[in-house]
Chain A
Amino acid sequence: MELVGYAAAAATPYNLLLALAGVTAGVVLGALPGISSTFAVAVLLPTTFTMEPVSALIFLGAVYTGSTYGGAYSAILVNTPGTPQNIATTFDGYPMARRGDGNLAITLACLASVVGGLVGAVALWAVAPPLARVALAFGPIEYFWLAVLGLTMIASLSEGNLLKGGISGCLGLALSLVGVSVVSGDTRFAFDSPALVGGINLVPAVIGLLCIPVLIDLVAVPQPHLKREGSVGGYRLREALRICRKSWGTLTRGSLIGTGIGVLPAAGGSIASLVAYSETRRASSRPEAFGTGEPEGVLSSESANNATVGGGLIPTFVLGIPGTPADAVILGALLIHGVRTGPSLFTERAPLIYTFIFGLLIATLLMLPVGLLMGRYAYGAIVSISKTFLVPLVAFFTIIGSYAIHNDVNDVVVMLVLGVFGWLIARVGIPAAPMVLGLLLGPIAEQGFGQGVIIGTATGSVWAQFFGRPIALAIIALIVVTLFAPYVLRRYTRRLAA
C-alpha cells in the first residue's frame, strides 16, 4: 500500500513541524483584519523557496487553512471578518459573542473548520479530476446566476425590512461599480480621481462597514464590550460537540457547498460561506433565528470556507487554474518548484500530491488543538481586556489592515468614510451586511452578465445563453425556491392550521 508510504512521508518530524507552524502562523495572521489568506500565503511564500516541493506545499496549505479559521476570531469578537471568507461568520458569531456565548462560537467555528477542511481534502484526494471537469461546465452565465443567488441573501439579512435591506444592497452594488469596468472598459464614477479609478477595495470597505460602527458605539458607554454570561467559561467543548452532533446536516451541507464552490475557478471561500449560510437558513426550521446568534449560522459559514481550501486545490492541481485567490499563489509556488500541473499530476507525481494531501489532512487535524487553545486565549483576552486597551488596539488594526494590503492610504480613507457611513445608516435602520454583499458579488454578477451578453450576441441568442443552459436553470430554480419558499410555506401551514 503506497498510501502508507505517503502518509509516513507526510508525517516526518520536519513536515509535522511545518504543518504545525503553518497552521499557527495562519491562525494568527488570519485573525488580524486586513491580512487575508492570499496575503498571508503570499507573504510567507519566500520562506519556502529553499524547501522541498512537498514541504513547501504542506506549509502553505497549512497557512491557508489556518488563516481561514483564524479570521473567525475577529469576526466573532469584533464583528470584523479577519479574512473575506469569514464575512458570513459575523452574522451570527458576533451576536453570540454579545450575549456571552463568544467562547462557544469560537469552539464551534473550530470544529466546523476542521470538519470542512477534512471534507475538502478528502474530495481533493478522491474525486479531483472528475470534479474539475464539472467545474469547467460553469461559464460566465453560471457565475452570474450564482452571484444573483448570493444577492438574494440580502432578503434574509434585512431583518424584516426588505426595502431598507434592498437599498443597502443597491448601495453596495453601486460601490462595486466604481472604477474601470472589466467588460466594457468604461471608467465609471471615478470623478477624475486616480484613487477611485482602481475601485473600492473589498477588505477596507468591509473593515469600515462592519468594525468601525462597533468601535464608535464601544467608546460611548462604560459597559464592557462582551458579556461574561454566568460562569460558563472554558472551551464549552461538550456543549459544542452536542450542537455539532445535532446539526450534522448543516455541517455536511456547508462542507459540500464549500467544496463545490471552491472547485469553481475564481469563486472562493467568501462566496461559498455566504451560499452555505443562505442555504442553511433556507432549510432550517427556524430561519428567523439566523442573524440573532444561531449556532448553525457559524457552523455553516466556517465549514464551507475551510472546505474551499481542499476544493480550491482541485482545479489548481488538475487544470492549472486557481480555484480561489490564495490558490493563485500556491500555483505560483508549484511552478517555481518546477511542478507541472495537470491531470498527470495525480499519476506521474502521485507521491507528491498524495503526500501533500496527507499533510493537509494532518494540518487540518492539528487545527483542532491549536485552534481551541488559541481561541480560548483570544476570547479570554478580548473579554477581559479593558476598553482603553481594546479600542486603540482594534482601531490600530483597522488602519494597518486597510493600509497594508496595497500600501495605499486611500484604502484607509475608504475604510474610515465607509465606517462612519455604516454607523449613520444603522441609525436609520439600514443594515450594513447587504452592502458588503453587494460590494462582493457585484463584480462577479456584472462580469458574468456582460460576458454572457457578448457571447449570446455572438452565438445568436442572448436568451438561450441566460435561460437555456442546464446548470444555470438549476441555479435559477434554487433562487426562486430561496426567495419564495418561505412565503409559500407560511401560507401552506396557515391553511393547514385553519
Chain B
Amino acid sequence: MSRLADVLMGAVAAGFGGFLMVASRNYTDLGAAFPRAVGLSMIVLGIVLVAGRLIRWSVSTSLPALEGSMVRRALFVVIIAIWGVSLPWLGIVLASVVGIAGLTLVSNFSRWNARRILIHVVGHAAIFAFFYGLLAYGLQVPLPEGRIF
C-alpha cells in the first residue's frame, strides 16, 4: 500500500516538476533559472522514487498507523476553514465564537455536564477577551471587522 502511495507521489512530483518547467517558458532567462532547476530536480526525484519502488527497493521509513477518528479530523479542518474564511464577513468576534465553540466540541471526549459547560464558556470568553484586548487595544493591531456584524 505504501509502495503504491510512493509510486503515485513520485509521479505527481515529476508531473509538478514538468509543470514548473513548462510554465517558465514565458519568463526571462534569469527569471526562469530557478523554476527550471527546481522543476528538473522534482522530475528527477520523482522518477527515481517511482523507479526505486517499482524495482522493489526497501521502503526505509515505516509510516505510523493512522489512529483516531478521521471524522473529527475532517470536522476540525472544516470548522477552522470556516473560522478563517468568514473573518471578513463575520468579523473576529462572531467568527471566533463559531470557531471556538465548534473546535471545543470537536476536541471533546468527555461527558458534558452543567459545570463543564460553564467552565468552558467562562474560560473561553475570558481568554478570548484577554487576547482580543491585548491585540486590539494594547498593540493597536486592527482585527477584522465583519461586513454583516
Contact = CB atoms under 8 A, between A and B. Distances in A.
Interface in A377-399: 387-393, 395-396, 398-399
A191 to B, nearest CB: 10
Contacts of B9: 164, 167, 428, 430
Contacts of A166: 41, 45
A43 interface: yes
B66 A427 contact: yes
B48 interface: yes
A167 B107 contact: no
A159 B24 CA distance: 32
A399 B81 CA distance: 10
A343 to B, nearest CB: 36
Interface string A185-229: 110110000000000000000000000100111111110000000
B6 A409 contact: no
A404 B33 CA distance: 34
A43 B135 CA distance: 10
Counting chain A CB atoms within 10 Å of each CB, the highest count among B63, B139, B142 belongs to: B139
B94 interface: no
B124 A392 contact: yes
B84 A188 contact: no
A415 B87 CA distance: 14
B54 interface: no
A160 B84 contact: no
A445 B41 CA distance: 16
Contact of B30 (A177, A222, A409, A453): A453
Mostly helix, strand, loop or mixed at chain B's interface?
Answer: helix
A285 interface: no
Interface string A385-427: 0011111110110111011100101001101100010000001
Given A389-B124, A396-B128, A161 B60 contact: yes
Interface of B: 2, 5-6, 9-10, 13, 16-17, 20, 23-24, 27-28, 30-35, 38, 41-42, 45-46, 48-49, 52, 60-61, 63, 66-70, 72-73, 75-77, 80-81, 83-85, 87-88, 92, 96, 99-100, 103-104, 106-109, 120, 123-124, 127-128, 131, 135, 139-144
Interface of A: 43-44, 159-161, 163-164, 166-167, 170-171, 173-174, 177, 181, 183-186, 188-189, 212, 215-222, 387-393, 395-396, 398-400, 402-404, 407, 409, 412-413, 415-416, 420, 427-430, 442, 445-446, 449-450, 453-454
18 contacts: A161-B61, A164-B49, A212-B80, A216-B77, A219-B103, A219-B107, A220-B72, A221-B69, A388-B104, A392-B100, A392-B103, A395-B80, A403-B144, A409-B87, A427-B63, A428-B9, A449-B34, A450-B33
